[in-house]
Amino acid sequence: MLMRKIYQKDLKRQETQDSNDDIEDVSLFDAEEETTSRPKKSKIRHPVASFFHLFFRVSAIIVYLLCELFSSSFIACMVTIILLLSCDFWAVKNVTGRLMVGLRWWNHIDEDGKSHWVFESRKASPQDSKTVSEAESRIFWLGLIACPVLWVIFAFSALFSFRVKWLAVVIMGVVLQGANLYGYIRCKVGSRKDLTSMATSYLGKQFLRQTTGDDQTS
């Protein structure tokens, strides 16, 4: 009888250990599934390029807004803003676009003396599908679009407030940053024919939606 009780206790202990082992295995398996199913956070692969992508253009805007508070020399403010805009144009055109989003636009002259504009887009290979970081892409396009819009607003404000001496500086900002914006849009979308075809297709879709909506209401 004593041996039978000891044997029954050993069986119960083994059953409880097995049940605990099963529970732990299931929880670990579920945790692995959750970690694999969660999307990985996109990291900034080029922090220096991301910093200088925003540094020059944001600095130019800050200097334009605050220069009259710290300096009474218009020439010093103008030279500082133009230098910042020039550095931004060179950095965005030659460095940050290529590293952050895999786009590049440039110009070359052939043997006949004709100028050709080239708009390139890096194609991701199947082995390296994540060549562009999502965080870097957002930073790039946000800075590329927002800053020219601000310079356009500054241009209208300078025009309507009769600040003629600042109008040349603001136009310089619109031209330099607008050129980068146009170039990278051409790289992203394609040729000018693709841009016109996208515009016509978008307008066609909007027209069809309006006509179908009018038909349904009638």
- Residue 29: predicted pLDDT: 31
More confident residue, 167 or 33: 167
28-61 burial by CB neighbour count: b if 16+ within 10 A, else e?
eeeeeeeeeeeeeeeeeebeebbebbbebbbbbb
Average pLDDT value for residue range 92-113: 89
Band of residue 26 on the pLDDT scale cut at 50, 70, 90: very low
Cα 190 to Cα 205: distance, rounded to the nearest angstrom: 21
What value does the mean pLDDT take over residues 13-27? 44
Q: What is the mean pLDDT of residues 12-18?
A: 54
Residue 202 confidence (pLDDT): 61
Cα–Cα distances in Å, from 215 out to 169, 207, 211, 212?
52, 12, 6, 5
Asked if residue 131 has pLDDT above 50, the reply is yes
Torsion of CA 82, 146, 92, 202, to 10 degrees: -130
pLDDT band with cut points at 50, 70 and 90 for residue 84 = very high
For the chain, the average pLDDT equals: 77
Q: Given a cut of 50, is residue 120 above it in pLDDT? A: yes
Instruction: Look at residue 156 in the predicted model and tell me its pLDDT.
Output: 94
Most confident of 78-92, 108-122, 157-171: 78-92
Q: Please answer whether residues 83 and 57 qualify as being in contact, where contact means their C-beta atoms are separated by less than 8 angstroms.
A: no
* Amino acid 76: pLDDT: 93
